[in-house]
């Protein structure tokens, strides 16, 4: 039995109405930086939306890659998604507990890049669910294994060589989701050996600027105004970057809602770029 899913966002009301649908898969993709003092898995074990499973972004990454959270080979990722019970006919709702769309959009982007169209982020995440008075649970839930077929869309993904060409030739706009301090180089990078600053020509749109005080994504008009103020042309190609490819996906979500359709993620992001010895780096500090 199929389920029509609004994308790329669903409301708490929509999810509450469809909770328990046999074609629905709910995934908590909460992940936090070590400096935040939070643990997504432990918080999930204590309280999550009924029927949700935990989508561990560390386990859905290429563990052999030199940089964090690198997307694994499509066939490997397809197998891991299928083992979680996410299959070709399922509508997937992803959320996190950050109140800022910190990590859920990463799994949204991964599924979209794998060619899975029926996937959406829960607007406001777990905090919005709880504010609306809906129950949470600590009960363990599993979905039976499913078949996930990869239809990898390379147009949504950028590697180091492609970004070198972009920076050298200006074929795409580059938006950086890190904090202003890290973007300018005034704030040190959290990982040893990674230079501070940004790619030449990049513009900075911190992911947290895209949500309101309640953690709800801003309206399409507000998002367009934010991107316009940053100098981004939503009709032209845009590649997004951040620290390790997590929060850049929150910017990609905002761009999607704002109407941009030619977007991609630089998966290695600043951890890869800033670790090289020959990549150009600019500082504003």
Q: What is the CATH number of the domain that holds 140?
A: 3.40.250.10
| Res 35: pLDDT | 87
Round to whole Å and give the CA distance between 259 and 234.
7
pLDDT in tens, 170-194: 989 999 999 999 999 999 999 999 9
Active-site annotation holder among 60, 86, 242, 252: 242
Average pLDDT, the chain: 97
Interacting residues of 156 by C-beta distance below 8 A, sequence separation 6+:
109, 112, 113, 263, 264, 265
Q: Does some domain include residue 50?
A: yes
Q: Does some domain include residue 283?
A: no
Q: How does DSSP classify residue 63?
A: T
Average pLDDT over residues 256-278: 98
| Full domain range(s) for residue 181 | 155-273
Greatest CA separation found in the chain?
56
The answer on pLDDT for 1 being more than 80 is no
Q: Are residues 28 and 139 in the same domain?
A: yes
| Res 136: pLDDT | 98
| Res 31: pLDDT | 97
> Is residue 8 reached through a cis peptide bond, with omega within 30 degrees of 0 on the bond before it?
yes
> Known catalytic residue: 242?
yes
Q: Are residues 131 and 161 in the same domain?
A: no
The answer on pLDDT for 251 being more than 80 is yes
pTM above 0.95, yes or no: yes
Round to whole Å and give the CA distance between 162 and 103.
24
Of 121, 152, 183, which closes a domain? 152
Q: Does some domain include residue 230?
A: yes
């Amino acid at each position: 039995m199929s389920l029509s899913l609004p994308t790329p966002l669903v409301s708490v009301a929509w999810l509450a109405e469809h909770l328990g649908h046999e074609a629905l898969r709910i995934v908590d993709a909460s992940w936090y930086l070590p400096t935040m003092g939070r643990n997504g898995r432990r918080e999930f074990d204590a309280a999550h939306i009924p029927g949700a499973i935990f989508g561990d972004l560390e386990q859905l990454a290429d563990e052999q890659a030199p940089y964090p959270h690198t997307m694994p080979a499509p066939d490997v990722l397809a197998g891991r998604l299928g083992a979680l019970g996410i299959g070709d006919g399922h509508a997937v709702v992803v959320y996190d507990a950050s109140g800022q769309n910190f990590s859920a959009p990463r799994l949204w982007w991964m599924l979209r890049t794998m060619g899975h169209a029926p996937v959406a982020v829960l607007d406001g995440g777990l905090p919005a669910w709880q504010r609306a008075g809906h129950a949470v649970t600590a009960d363990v839930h599993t979905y039976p294994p499913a078949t996930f077929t990869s239809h990898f869309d390379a147009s949504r993904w950028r590697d180091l060589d492609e970004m070198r060409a972009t920076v050298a030739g200006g074929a795409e706009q580059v938006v950086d989701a890190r904090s202003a301090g890290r973007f300018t180089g005034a704030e040190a990078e959290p990982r040893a050996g990674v230079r501070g600053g940004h790619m030449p020509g990049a513009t900075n749109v911190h992911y947290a600027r895209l949500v309101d005080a309640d953690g709800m994504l801003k309206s399409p008009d507000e998002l367009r105004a934010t991107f316009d103020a940053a100098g981004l042309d939503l009709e032209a190609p845009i590649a997004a970057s951040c620290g390790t490819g997590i929060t850049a996906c929150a910017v990609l979500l905002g761009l999607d809602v704002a109407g941009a359709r030619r977007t991609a993620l630089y998966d290695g992001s600043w951890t890869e770029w800033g670790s090289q010895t020959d990549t150009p780096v600019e500082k504003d500090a």
